[in-house]
Amino acid sequence: MAGYVLHHYNIIDRSRVGELGPMSLPILEKYDAELVISSPIKPLKGTTAYSNMVVYKFESFTAALEFYHSSEMAEFAIIRDQIIDGFATVIPGHSETEDVINSGYFQS
């Protein structure tokens, strides 16, 4: 099982982007997150308004949700949102997808 937090974003304050890694590390460690991707991106088909991506992997979808909605991430978001702009989502790994769909999570 696995769950992922994905951030797709643009950097709006390059002078401060280096703050994010060291600030997020203790939170990632606390929630046992694995940094899977942290990179600029280049679309091979289609277009996107965002030029960077970060993906964190967790032991489950529930663990990813817990991390994303944690008080630590809420505090971190105050600074993060001054430095980057984009969207974030929490998605299940393949083995959990059907259960998450059946739970109604993706319904409006």
Average pLDDT over residues 33-60: 97
Dist CA 8 CA 31 (whole Å): 21
Per-residue pLDDT, 69? 97
* Structure tokens belonging to residue 8: 């797709």
3-class secondary-structure state, position 5: strand
Dist CA 40 CA 107 (whole Å): 31
- Which residue reads 């430095």 in tokens? 83
Q: Does the structure show a pLDDT above 90 at 1?
A: no
Band the pLDDT of 18: cuts 50, 70, 90: very high
